[in-house]
Amino acid sequence: MNKTIEKIEDQQLKEKIAKEILLDLPEWFGLPESTQEYIEEAKELPFWVAKDKNKYLGFITLKETSIDSAEIHCMGVKKEYHRDGVGSKLVKALESIASENYIFLQVKTVAEGHYENYDQTISFYKKMGFRKLEVFPDLWDVWNPCLIMIKKL
């Protein structure tokens, strides 16, 4: 497999890719309103896709949170490509680009110990060099306490 990372500018293509990938991940993106919000926001944000020829494997979006920090706004990799290096490749590409303008990169996810899938997500981000910064128990809602992880670029 020849995985490449490309920046996408076209809003309709961003929407198509984000929808295709997020709908493949109901364990992480199972709330229709929230998923639709990610898809809509992805159209407006810097957006990169991992692909193999014309097949979309995953995507990642970047959002500025301050003059010194940006966040991985949304990232999804089709289930069949989990643990295949696609996510790592997307994060590394984003870090390379983000390091030109920011000092820190953050990501929000559900705090550890609530859902097995999110515990796997946290493990992935730890492997990528992210560290736990803070948990906000009700930023989203009480069933999904928000963990913010951060990495110095």
pLDDT along the chain (153 residues), means of 10: 91 97 84 87 97 95 97 95 94 96 94 76 94 86 85 97
- The three-point CA angle 90-131-3 to 5° equals 10
> Which amino acid type is present at position 135?
V
Q: Please, what are the domains in the chain? A: 3-152 (3.40.630.30)
Task: Note whether 107 and 98 are within 8 A (CB).
Answer: no
For the stretch 18-43, pLDDT in tens is: 999 999 987 777 777 888 999 999 99
φ/ψ of 98, rounded to 5, equals -65, -30
For the stretch 38-58, pLDDT in tens is: 999 999 999 999 999 989 999
